[in-house]
Amino acid sequence: ANPTLLILAGDGIGPEVMAEVKRIITWYGDKRDMPFDVTEDLVGGCAYDKHGTPLHDDTMAKAQEVDAVLLGAVGGPAYDDLDFSVKPERGLLRLRKEMDLFSNLRPAQCFDALADFSSLKREIVAGLDIMIVRELTSGVYFGEPRGIHTEGNERVGVNTQRYTESEIARVARSAFELARRRNNRVCSMEKANVMESGVLWRQVVTEVHAKDYADVELSHMYADNGAMQLVRNPKQFDVIVTDNLFGDLLSDAAAMLTGSLGMLPSASLGLPMANGRPKALYEPVHGSAPDITGQGKANPIACILSFAMALRYSFDAGSEADRLEAAVEKVLADGARTADLLGPEGGSPISTTQMGDAILAALDAS
């Protein structure tokens, strides 16, 4: 049977960038003899409009069955005043939670043609290719107790940083597995100097490493130093594994080393299914970009690179992922630029569809 994909294009520019990914999926079926069975459904505001909920139970059930979910983006001004329980983001949160997607992969890769876009000097970022693995389903964003209460005559806000050893071990494993497919190096970041959860994090990562991954080079770093090192000399890293809160901050900082939001893909992985593939959801880092929706200005590359991650991590097609990434690199080197990729000196931008055309042409030539 063909591998299965569920496409949830979502709101705003989601459907615009996903249209280009769909053409690329078709290309792989036609030209590389890699046909996918694709189903499409609704998530976010468009699902709320139709069903009164940002993620229908039937859609949730489909997501659990397919080999991989590709998501565009959710949200927009039309939904800003909705009750929290039906906000578009809740559809995405439900997918992550019920699929138990604990390992969030955020690459920070700097294409040479865009190195001048970085917040840093070209020589610090050119050729950068690192991967941040962020724990996504536990930690301080979820720990109990939490809330705001009154003590004496003032209010107190409480969150709890809490990790079990199994939660740490499974994300550590996913980082070590990933490192074996890359350059065999992992740097684990926490604050074991001031946090109990950090002490346990370092212990468990060290134990998992000694037991099953001694071939991978492991180092540890305090997360605050990690933040400094990321902007001082990011190329010293390959895979970084860290908790939910630190991963949120470090991956956003690392993202800006590489330039535009329109370029950043992500993957969220869970435990292996019966067929051995991990539960998986692939999505661009950017949102629904209401300010440019419907204008043909959206950069489809983040969504396209998310599909490349799907090829690599769900479909064991690393060389096809390389092919797609090389096609993206080629069109950028040739000067293809959507509006978000034009520097202050300007130039003439191409449209979302024209960027898709250029990438398909580069694939044809590959």
Binding-site residue total for ligand NAI (CB under 6 A)? 22
Active site residue 224: yes
Q: Is 248 annotated as a binding residue?
A: yes
Instruction: Identify the active-site residue in 30, 252, 316, 334.
Output: 252
86 part of the interface to ligand NAI, by CB under 6 A: no
Catalytic residue list contains 248: yes
Residues 41-80 that bind ligand NAI (CB under 6 A): 73-76
Q: Which is nearer to Mg ion, 196 or 252 (CB)?
A: 252
Write down the catalytic residue from 11, 243, 248, 340.
248
DSSP secondary structure string for all residues of 268-295: EEEEE-TTSPEEEEEEESS---TTTTTT
Which window, 53-61, 219-227, 279-287, 329-337, contacts ligand NAI (CB under 6 A)?
A: 279-287
Active site residue 322: no
| Contact call for residues 69 and 78 (beta carbons, < 8 A) | no
Query: Which listed residue (141, 222, 235, 357) is catalytic?
Result: 141
- Residue 364 known to be catalytic: no
Q: For the chain, give the number of residues.
A: 366
Q: Which residues does 364 contact at the CB level (< 8 Å), separation at least 6? A: 31
The beta-strand segments (E) located in 110-255 are 129-135, 143-151, 154-160, 185-190, 217-222, 239-242
Q: Which of these ranges, 152-160, 194-202, 227-235, 287-295, lies near ligand NAI under the rule CB under 6 A?
A: 287-295
Among 188, 299, 306, 314, binds ligand NAI (CB under 6 A): 299
Q: Binding to ligand NAI by residue 302, rule CB under 6 A? A: yes
Which residue's CB is nearer to Mg ion, number 56 or number 134?
134
Q: How far is the CB of 305 from ligand NAI (least distance, A)?
A: 11
261 in contact with ligand NAI (CB under 6 A): yes
Give the nearest distance from C-beta 155 to ligand NAI in angstroms. Answer: 27
Indicate the residue whose CB is closest to Mg ion.
248
**Do residues 257 and 232 lie in contact, with contact meaning Cβ atoms separated by under 8 Å?**
no
Taking CB under 6 A as the binding criterion, the range among 109-117, 140-148, 288-296, 307-315 that sits at the site for ligand NAI is 288-296
Return the closest-CA partner of residue 78 out of 54, 95, 104. Answer: 54
Buried b (16+ CB within 10 A) or exposed e, 252-289: ebbbbbbbbbbbbbbbbbbeeeeeebbbbbbbbbbbbb
Residues 6+ apart with CB under 8 A from 180: 213, 215, 216
In angstroms, the CA 243 to CA 249 distance is 10
Please tell me whether residue 292 binds ligand NAI under the rule CB under 6 A. Answer: yes
Among 241, 289, 305, 308, binds ligand NAI (CB under 6 A): 289
298 known ligand binder: yes
Nearest to 94 by CA among 133, 56, 146: 56
Question: Residue 93 or residue 228: which is nearer to ligand NAI going by CB?
Answer: 93
Q: What is the Cα–Cα distance from 103 to 106, expressed in whole angstroms?
A: 10
The first and second tokens of residue 141, run together, are 């964003």
Quick one: tokens of 109? 């890769």
> Whose CA is closest to 102, among 66, 135, 64?
135
Binding pattern for the stretch 337-356 against ligand NAI, x by CB under 6 A and - elsewhere: ---x----------------
Neighbours of 173 (CB within 10 A): 17
Helices (H) and strands (E) in the chain, counts: 12, 12
Min separation Cβ 338 and Mg ion, Å: 23
Residues that bind ligand NAI (CB under 6 A): 13, 17, 73-76, 89, 92, 261-262, 283, 286-292, 298-299, 302, 340
Known binding site: residues? 76-89, 96, 106, 134, 224, 248, 252, 287-299
Known binding site for Mg(2+): residues? 224, 248, 252
Question: Looking at the annotation, which residues are catalytic?
Answer: 141, 191, 224, 248, 252
Known binding site for substrate: residues? 96, 106, 134, 224
